[in-house]
Amino acid sequence: MSVIRGARERARIEVTAAIKEEARRQLAAEGAARLSLRAVARELGMVSSALYRYFPSRDDLLTALIVDAYDAIGAEAEDALARTAGDPPHARWVTVCRSVRDWALARPHEYALIYGSPVPGYAAPQDTVGPAQRVPFALIAVVRQAHAAGLLGEP
């Protein structure tokens, strides 16, 4: 029984990834405001009712894409922070900022989704708050290091 359940879970993960990938392609081509579950389903050769089992609404799909984008850019910032652990704060700050910029240049449509103009009719749920804090927290870690080292003066 666990083999069947494992196969179902793997299939669900693969289909979910395919849906998100196609949605990202549509973001690049049409923009977030024009993202359509029906169009995603059509491109994947699915009936739209099947896609709704994975994402009940366009907003749910947008939320998943936003969380993925925040997590990806946050991971880049955190990796840059970890790579520069022994460096002075100013060098760490620049490295973190450059890693975020490089990510944004490589994925302009995902960057626009999270930092660009709001999507009409979409209100981001609380699920996006934690992932959205990853880049600022990486930068705050650098500021804390600079403060602890006595490198920050009075404004």
Q: Which two tokens stand for residue 99?
A: 């890693």
Q: Which helix (H) or strand (E) holds 50?
A: helix 48-51
Q: Is residue 155 part of a domain?
A: no
What's the length of the chain? 155
Q: Is residue 108 part of a domain?
A: yes
Looking at the whole model, is its pTM more than 0.85? yes
Structural domain of 28: 2-148
Task: Please list the pLDDT of the chain residue by residue as tens digits (155 residues).
Answer: 555 668 888 889 999 999 999 999 999 999 999 999 999 999 999 998 999 999 999 999 999 999 999 999 999 999 999 999 999 999 999 999 999 999 999 999 999 999 998 999 999 999 999 999 999 999 999 999 999 999 998 87
Q: Is residue 30 part of a domain?
A: yes
Q: Is residue 153 part of a domain?
A: no
Q: Is residue 154 part of a domain?
A: no
CATH of residue 119: 1.10.357.10
Q: Is residue 53 part of a domain?
A: yes
Judge whether 74 and 128 are in contact, CB under 8 Å. Answer: no
Q: Is residue 37 part of a domain?
A: yes
How many domains is the chain partitioned into structurally?
1
C-alpha separations of 73 from 2, 116, 128, 134, 135 in Å: 35, 14, 13, 8, 7
